[in-house]
Amino acid sequence: MTGHDEALSAEELKTLEGLLARLDGRGAELPWPLFRFVNEVVATVNVDLLVQDAAGRVLLAWRDDPFGRGWHVPGSIIRHREEVGHRLEACARDEFGCDVAVADRAMAIVQIFDDRGHSVSLCHRATLRGVPGRRLVTGDRAPEAGDLRWFEAPPADLYPSHLVYRDVLEAAGRGELDGGAPLFTQHVGRRDAARDAPEGSISSDAALA
């Protein structure tokens, strides 16, 4: 870490420590500039929901942002200290506007390198439990951000960062992902928020609060 410390002045490091102390682990409330900074310097962990119907069609959402536009597998970043299951449920409500049944085990682990940095996504199979609360488009109707559409095969206009899902769907079609990807999880340690020092401390033998 010495090399990184030397790249920043003492005043800059103090500013970073102050920001961490004010946020107090509330990763979900990061302002956009700070969220963008975090994305570019460390890998983020996400959940993606691959929703399919009985005919094998995939439900994709339209995305249009500064990084590109196109159809993508709905997903969401895992927030600080948040359980995967809670994030999957929140993702379903936000992206589909209804509940979904989600497989316990991720079918694939997908990593993406793009203009935002490095992300690792836990991709779970899912099926709808009701009617989507988002607009469903068909035919040649021009989609808007958040719209949904069923596809029998990956469309040509996939979101740039989600081109990798062509490979995931092909592998799933060949039955290569039926067993799912094993995920081993460890929760240990917690920040001592009672300390006055912004950097706090980590106790390796304390339960995660």
**What domains lie within the chain, and their CATH numbers?**
2-203 (3.90.79.10)
pTM here? 0.78
Backbone angles phi, psi at 112, to 5 degrees: -130, 130
To the nearest whole percent, how much of the chain has pLDDT over 70?
Answer: 81
pLDDT band at 22 (very low <50, low <70, confident <90, very high): confident
When pLDDT is averaged across residues 124-146 and rounded to a whole number, the result is 94
As a whole number of angstroms, the distance between CA 123 and CA 135 comes to 23
pLDDT at 94 over 90: yes
When pLDDT is averaged across residues 28-53 and rounded to a whole number, the result is 82
As a whole number of angstroms, the distance between CA 54 and CA 121 comes to 24
Q: What is the pLDDT of residue 25?
A: 55
Largest CA distance in the chain: 60
As a whole number of angstroms, the distance between CA 98 and CA 74 comes to 13
Q: What is the pLDDT of residue 88?
A: 93
pLDDT band at 190 (very low <50, low <70, confident <90, very high): low
**Within 10 Å of residue 52's Cβ, how many Cβ atoms?**
16
When pLDDT is averaged across residues 156-174 and rounded to a whole number, the result is 95
pLDDT at 206 over 70: no
pLDDT at 151 over 90: yes
Residue bearing the bigger pLDDT, 40 or 48:
48
Output the CA–CA distances (angstroms, integers) from residue 79 to 19, 136, 151, 159, 194, in the order listed: 17, 28, 30, 23, 22
- N- to C-terminal Cα separation, the chain: 27
Residue bearing the bigger pLDDT, 70 or 85:
70
